[in-house]
Amino acid sequence: MDFRDSPQEGIFRAQVRSFLDAEFPAEIAAEPVEWGLFNGAGRASPRYRDFMRGWTAKLNQHGWAAPAWPKEHGGGGLTVKEQFILSEEFAWRRAPRPGGIGHGWAGPTMMVYGTEEQKARYLPRIISGEDHWCQLFSEPGAGSDLASLQTRAIRDGDDYVVNGQKIWTSGAHVADMGILIARTNPDAPKHRGISYFLVDMKTPGITVRPLVNMLSSHEFNEVYFEDARIPASALLGEENRGWYLATTTLDFERSGIATSVGHQLIARDLVAYAKDTAHGRAAVAERPALRNELADRAIEARVESLICYRIISMQDRGEIPNKESSIAKLYSSELDVRLAVTGMHLAGMHAQVTDRGYARSIGGRLPRFYMHSTTSPIGGGTSEVQRNIIAMRGLGLPRG
């Protein structure tokens, strides 16, 4: 990979930096943000909420709210490298970008498989931020082995009647819409007979119940379908071919540079905590090996960025990263845990305090980051699944 920007890419990077200089206030950038899986959780001030109302509109003026989307759908139509540059520059500034299920999964999958009516109805509302989406995939007995799902969708006239349960549904309690996969042919092999639906979360028969985690935070939910009638027009693509749509959706989940930059920033914050606070200096004085730990974490975060650069260079050449994406996911998830463990070693007695208000300081952020990090090797495909993919597709080992 050539690490240097081309002249055109250099111009684009300068444009992004100028935009951030002009539009992203320093006081917003300085607002405390909890580290970990739900990275924006700490930004909840009225000032931040007011800022976000206008931020999406400003990004949409450039097509940057959905940079990978074609311009005809309201996106930026950016090249792979331009998308990479945008994500990298925003991440270094800790600047928020619209995203989530709608921008990253539902919209792109709809562009590939949706009817013109579906695209016209849903895509503009994703771009504008009017509709928030959730992903109704995992079930109590179908997580890593998602094709074992048992939620049923039975055709009845102009509707499908859906019964079943989904779990670990992020943001379902605030979602307007959801992408749902359900079994429409129970007699077919498990990877077949599955269909993909675009679901209005206000549909009668859909019940969302909170799953409160050990941080007393409510991000996940379980969702029950009890004779919920979903119109046949909400079917995306062909009936019984939903598994292939779902794998398309999951392909959009494999990014990386923003997480890599986030890890580099966390490593820098940990070093600053060790150098600039009395408690941090005392921890390092008591455990000199912490200097080595901090150095290891900083090096590992940089290695993560190099893995991301490899993936983006492949995409820029028109290649599809497969095992490489699994390598990036595995490395990133495990690094999340190692960073959190190093933070706990620095935190000392502060590691006992998990109150969210206290997390506005770096010292108070560490124990909450540690608890968040335990989910990283699970969400988005477990570390065990990633190792299997690497073993079979990367090393050519036989299926165990």
Q: What angle do CA 94, 39, 212 make, to 5 degrees?
A: 165
Closest residue by Cα to residue 306 from 354, 264, 274: 264
Q: What angle do CA 145, 149, 154 make, to 5 degrees?
A: 160
Indicate left, alpha or beta for 334 from its phi (over 0: left) and psi (-120 to 50: alpha). Answer: alpha
The C-alpha atoms of residue 195 and residue 184 are separated, in whole angstroms, by 6
Tell me, yes or no, if 253 is annotated catalytic. Answer: yes
374 class by beta-carbon count within 10 Å (0-12 exposed, 13-18 middle, 19+ buried): middle
Q: Which residues contact 242 (CB under 8 A, 6 or more apart)?
A: 181, 182, 184, 194, 195, 196, 197, 236
Compute φ and ψ for 23, nearest 5 degrees. Answer: -110, -20
How crowded is residue 236: how many other Cβ atoms within 10 Å of its Cβ?
Answer: 24
The C-alpha atoms of residue 266 and residue 294 are separated, in whole angstroms, by 11
Type of residue at 117:
E
The C-alpha atoms of residue 354 and residue 36 are separated, in whole angstroms, by 14
The C-alpha atoms of residue 171 and residue 102 are separated, in whole angstroms, by 12
Helix axes 323-347, 257-276, angle to 10 degrees: 20
- Residue among 253, 324, 334, 384 flagged as catalytic: 253
Residues recognised as catalytic: 253
